[in-house]
Amino acid sequence: MAANPTAFLTVVRPGLFATVQDLGRFGFQELGMPVAGALDPLALRLANALVGNPAGNKDCAAALEIALLGPTLRVEATSVRIAAVGPLAVAVEREGQALQPLEPHRSHTLVQGDILRLGAVDGASVAYLAAAGGFALEPVMGSLSTYVRAGIGPLGGRPLGQGARLPLARDAAPSGPETGLPQLPDYGSGPLRVVLGPQDDRFTEAALATFLSTAYRVGKQADRMGLRLEGPALMHRGSADIPSDGLVTGAIQVPGNGQPILLLNDHQTIGGYAKIATVISADLPRAGRLRPGDSLSFQAVTVEEAEAIRRRQEQAIAGWIGAIRPVRPAGGIDLDALYAENLISGTVDIVNGGSDLPLV
């Protein structure tokens, strides 16, 4: 954390639920501490890459995770470079100017006094805002992730509130051009892939067949802790209860009513309901984006297949990050693209009276 940060993003209006998140707080589940972290780590990594922050699978910088409706922030810094990734409306208000929409999935440099308006998240549960250099916040247990249920994390472990100040690690934006993603990331489609178990033997054959062939719907009880799914009840062989054991993100518990619960980042660390399957790590960003009313289904894969899928995903993410390119300033000329064109072959010989013959 910077000793005396002098640059901030100040909350003018807090929105509905915005928290600071990185990739999670690992190594403390034996103490009852959930991992927390970004529901959509893919978007978090891309937002950081766009502003030049670390974006690796283990060193990704923290960003602002925005759910439902984003906050309005005032820039109290010489300048700051930001990037929003996800289905989020973004605009800037400058003194004496009309509200100006900002394109998502690219970086923008804001200056002292600018008002950044982050609107509704439409099409997923969350979106992300990263700032170049990251936030000058003190880690808790080695992480800047916010676990609201216990008030653990930066800013008192709370969502952004009215008047809160997000300290910036940089006093000014870095030099260099703005950058953008040439195409949106591919989250995949079709069923969420799962590895069956660890207690799939506690369910009837009919229940397993139903689980892998039926569409479920995300119920109204959905938050960072988990998603209650609605659909055909899954029958147990005997009781739904087991001796409490460890839980992981993506585990699918089935209580006595037979309705599955897909556990997300803020899940409890142990539980006593049988778990029919676990969503593979490569599909957790898709699961984290689900909203009430969304439908989903499941497909079983082996552990080996899950590992191969994750390796391919990491290669794809590296490719998306590697494809980030400078973008043309608003109203400006993309000189690189201009110079790349073969302009000479199309030049008209004005000396010869406007002949259509090209100069060679």
pLDDT in tens, the chain (360 residues): 445 678 999 999 999 999 999 999 999 999 999 999 999 999 999 999 999 999 998 899 999 999 999 999 999 999 999 999 999 999 999 988 889 999 989 999 999 999 999 999 999 999 999 999 999 999 999 999 999 999 999 999 999 999 999 999 999 999 999 999 998 889 999 999 999 999 999 999 999 999 999 999 999 999 999 999 999 999 999 999 999 999 999 999 999 999 999 999 999 999 999 999 999 999 999 999 999 999 999 999 999 999 999 999 999 999 999 999 999 765 555 444 444 444 444 433 433 444 343 333
The count of domains in the chain is: 3
Please, are residues 186 and 315 in contact by the beta-carbon 8 Å criterion?
A: no
- For residues 175 and 239, what is the distance between their CA atoms, to the nearest angstrom? 62
3, part of any domain: no
Domain span including residue 259: 192-314
Q: Give me 342's structure tokens.
A: 């073969």
Regarding whether 350 and 281 lie in a shared domain, the answer is no
333, part of any domain: yes
186, part of any domain: no
Regarding whether 50 and 119 lie in a shared domain, the answer is yes
Regarding whether 265 and 151 lie in a shared domain, the answer is no
Global pTM exceeds 0.85: yes
Tracing tokens 């195409």 back to the chain, one arrives at 183
322, part of any domain: no
Query: Does residue 167 have a cis peptide bond before it, meaning omega lies within 30 degrees of 0?
Result: no
Look at residues 179, 200, 220 and tell me which one is the last residue of a structural domain: 179
Regarding whether 250 and 101 lie in a shared domain, the answer is no
The stretches of the chain forming alpha helices (DSSP H) are 41-50, 205-211, 284-288, 303-322, 335-340
184, part of any domain: no
Cα dihedral 28, 127, 296, 222 sign: positive
